Amino acid sequence: MTDKNIVFRAGSLLCLTTGEYSDYYIQGHFVALQDIRQTDIAATTGVAKAIRYASDKEWDDWGVDEEGPTPPLINLHKSFIAAMIRGGFLMDVTCKEMHLGGFGELDVS
């Protein structure tokens, strides 16, 4: 019987990313050590938020003050990844890029 609540199966490779457009960033590459359900993600999100807000209650929910974006917003992403690793859900893996070329040409580098 298939568990439809599983978002990522054990053994899946994940590329965790943040941001949009010019702020798009690859946080890292990971392998799922066990099946990950939406409830696991929700619980870990709660842990990450608790860590972030406990570390600095001065910042608003958006992580922005009069001077612009604040470090805790970045820490929220890193706290989530750390909580997933501590929870035994993820393991960091080494990943290399192989660029195959551009503009319709094959130029492997």
Give the pTM: 0.71
Per-residue confidence at 52, pLDDT binned at 50, 70, 90? low
- Structural tokens at position 27: 């946080």
Question: What's the pLDDT score for residue 67?
Answer: 59
Does 5 score more than 90 pLDDT? no
Parallel, antiparallel or unpaired: strands 36-37 and 6-8: antiparallel
User: Residue 20, Cβ neighbours under 10 Å: how many?
Assistant: 8
Q: Which ranges of 1-109 would DSSP assign to H, the alpha helix? A: 38-55, 71-86
Please state the domain extents for the chain.
6-92
